[in-house]
Amino acid sequence: MRQDLPLLHRVMEKAYGGWAGAEKRGWDWNRWFAEWDRELASRTTAKLPLAEALAPFGRLEDLQLDNHSGPVGLPFFSSGSRTAVLDSAPQGACTQMRTAEGAMLPIDPKDPAQAPKKALILADVNAPEREGYYFAYPARRGIAAAVQCGGKWITARPTWAHSRRPLISSLAGKSPDEPSYRALNGEIAYLRLPTFSKQNGELLRKLVAALPDSAGREKVLIVDMRSNDGGDEPLAQLARWVDLPGLRNIRLGFGRRLPQSCLYTALRWGYEQVGISGSCLYTALRWGYEQVGIKSLQPPISDALRDSLQRQLDGLFAPAADGCPVSVQETHAAWGYREHRVTTEPPAGKPRLLMLVDNECGSDCEFVTYMLSAQSGSVVAGENTFGVGQFMQPGYFILPNSRIQFRIALGMSDIDGDGRSFDGYGLDVDIVLPTEEAQGAPAILRLANRLLQQLR
């Protein structure tokens, strides 16, 4: 592992999207790598448990939680979000959280991600939603029991946290692991969008092409993205239901900071075999991403996917400047998720969208939620998403001596448009579905019918 540190240092310096942000917060990269090396050198045994060898990486994650960077498949440092409903409205800024285990943890009142949110709460599945407050926090903090706001403690009740697969199957009428469409009646339909793997992308293309003309003429479309951990967003396949031209400026104006280098394409290509800063490393790391995404693909594949993979492979052989210099591509947000508001009228000829999300909706699932939430009439329901989009576009590689699979985020995004934390907090929801009953098919259908009635 010690022999891998110089390479890891070089790759992160050239391609890591969070490098500059950590420096702004006082992080000393040279000192961190030197301390990591000294800690490994001090061990008397040649072999260490992986968690112990990688422990210094946890100190970086304590500074800035980044769910797209670190050892692949080893959940030592990452954390999704948890959502908890408050028993009463906060009176004043919230500064502490108490866990069920009795731990007292700080809440930063200056970070909008950590502040309680006002939303509708589906507390009684047999009654309309009520106004209330909830807050989100990284799950690795523990189970929230209360928050202190304005000097007073308010009881916090975490949302139901078990598998949604049976609930999704009940709505879909089939496996939750494949894209599916179902007309529930003449005015409400259901679209299941599971993980955006390459294989599911191919299945979605076939599904959409075979749908009847009535698909897209619904008044309300339930878009179920629960338990979708991301991949490659399929917005082009949603044109029946989404005003893509109307969302074009939202997509082009997505706030991001991407370091570009010679490594980018190769590292991203590695992802494709599994399932944006610029330097010579950008292409290489991007290629690593691609390797992750296509490992489960079975032929034949579509011409669109074949062309995409070929273009990225060709990029590996493009000449790179001497020294692999880094340039930064920066885009300021034209629209932030914080600007999303619930309205009742969708675009002409399009249905009202009811998006179902949970804390397993991550990465490109969150990007699709962000994009669709910008369409008028859309509603986001469930609980806060995972929170794996602030540090974006993971690039994949293998440390050559330890053979540890590693990934780093190649860029940063500002999804809300105000610089708030995102990883471990996720996207906020308009309607909280706090219980198993609230996330079940009968309650979801009643909610969809209430949204339908608002159109009349």
Average pLDDT per block of 10 residues along the chain, 456 residues long:
95 91 93 96 84 92 91 84 98 98 95 97 93 97 98 98 95 96 96 96 97 96 97 95 91 66 59 45 56 62 75 65 65 82 94 98 95 97 94 88 91 87 96 98 97 91
Q: What is the pLDDT of residue 25?
A: 86
Rg (CA), the chain: 22
β pairing state of 117-121 and 431-432: parallel
Q: What is the pLDDT of residue 304?
A: 77
Q: What is the pLDDT of residue 272?
A: 41
Helix (H, G, I), strand (E, B) or coil at 329: strand
C-alpha triplet 111, 343, 133: angle, nearest 5°: 40
Of 1.10.3480.10, 3.40.50.11540, 3.40.50.150, 3.90.226.10, the CATH number of 79-453 is 3.90.226.10
Interatomic CA distance for residues 391 and 16, integer angstroms: 9
Instruction: Please state whether the predicted TM-score (pTM) of the whole model is above 0.85.
Output: no
CB 105 within 8 A of CB 99: yes
Query: 115-139 burial, b for 16+ CB within 10 Å, e for fewer?
Result: bbbebbbbbebeeebeebbbbbbbb
Helix (H, G, I), strand (E, B) or coil at 366: helix
Interatomic CA distance for residues 36 and 400, integer angstroms: 18
CB 91 within 8 A of CB 150: yes
